[in-house]
A and B are shown apart, each in its own frame.
Chain A
Amino acid sequence: MDQILKSFLDNEILVYTIMAFVPLLWIVPYALFAVYLERKVSAHMQDRLGPMYTGGWHGWAQTIADILKLIQKEDIVPAAADKKLHLLAPYVVFIGSYAAFATIPFSSAYIGSNINIGLFYIIAVSSVVVAGLLMAGWSSNNKWSLFGAMRSAAQIISYEIPTAIAILVVVMIAGSLNLQEINQQQSGWFWNWFVFKYPPFVLVAFLIYFVASLAETNRTPFDIPEAESELVAGYHTEYSGMKFALFFLAEYANMFAVSAIAATLFFGGWNSPFGDFLGGPIWGVFWFLSKGMFFIFLQMWLRWTLPRLRVDQLMYVSWKVLIPWAFACVVGVGLWTLL
């Protein structure tokens, strides 16, 4: 895509600016839709109807109304808060989430930056979010915010380890950290997807990745950082208006980022499941997004099915269950490829 753009415009900076904004064109409408979906999914799982009035048909305009409300709201900064850090924190969190999209391939024709170490880069930039969360929690000068931020940081850092090891399994098979290349290796029919390789090691690695990614995005059953009954709303308790919306957007962007990585690494990314049927760059976007949205739906499903874990159970799951099994997968795939 950058080649095509370059042939139209000869200003390199302009081309890269456009390239950088493309994922935003997806994330904003997606976040609006996902909030609506979350409400509807939760409602139907609990035998309710969910929003039904706004906009007419099944309340489709509910989140648009919500975002209009958030934009109009007064931006309240608590008197005791640290103004500068309070202002900066939502941006740091959002930049951390958004930066991960730079190396996620949306189709065979579009990837923000086709760098050699894309996967490693994603793992690294998502750790910037932790600093932003601590910033938000601290600067709010509210004990609930601080507790939420501390819990969140501890959780994200603990679960980064199983995530990274599970990803390592795929890297070992693909022999590359470039996501576009990993995608190309899975082309063809769906049995070429990495999740079906070396059974059952990669499948287990995928499950580990998925569970760990739930924890990294603070979704139930790992949502103790924002447990409503204990901590009000966690690190964004003291935020209102657009800054709150930015946190929300970052959270949903993060959800999509981990789903997109799961789709790319284990389920062929933009590859059509049926060989060349409905293949090509344009359909690639469709396959990529629908695979991503499927994992989003799975996350919502789990959220409304499972209860929340305790803090000690959370740490137990990460250190004593996921990490040993992830190591077992690495060793298993390594031995299999050697033999």
Chain B
Amino acid sequence: MQVGLTHFLIVSAILFSLGLYGVITRRNAILVLMGVELILNSANINFIAFSKYGGMKLDGQAAAVFVIILAAAEAAVALAIVLNIYQRFKTVNVDEISKMKE
């Protein structure tokens, strides 16, 4: 079977599931962030695959650019928060950080 739209979609579906698994099971906040990055990447593959095969011209790619921009902003802010949490609580395990203040 020749590689077509379905192949790309299935790759993105599996990548999404992997990211979801990481987000659900990991305790370390940075690993949760890595899971989120995987999910965003899988969404991007979908955008670009439809951009090529769905006759959307470049609109799909434009959307993917915005996803990348927001992923960069998200990573910067999230890591700043993680560093702050580490300074306060001396841990980055998400299930131990349940208080809003010390």
- Direct A–B touching, Cβ under 8 Å: no
Q: A residues bordering B, Cβ < 8 Å?
A: none
B interface residues, Cβ below 8 angstroms from A: none
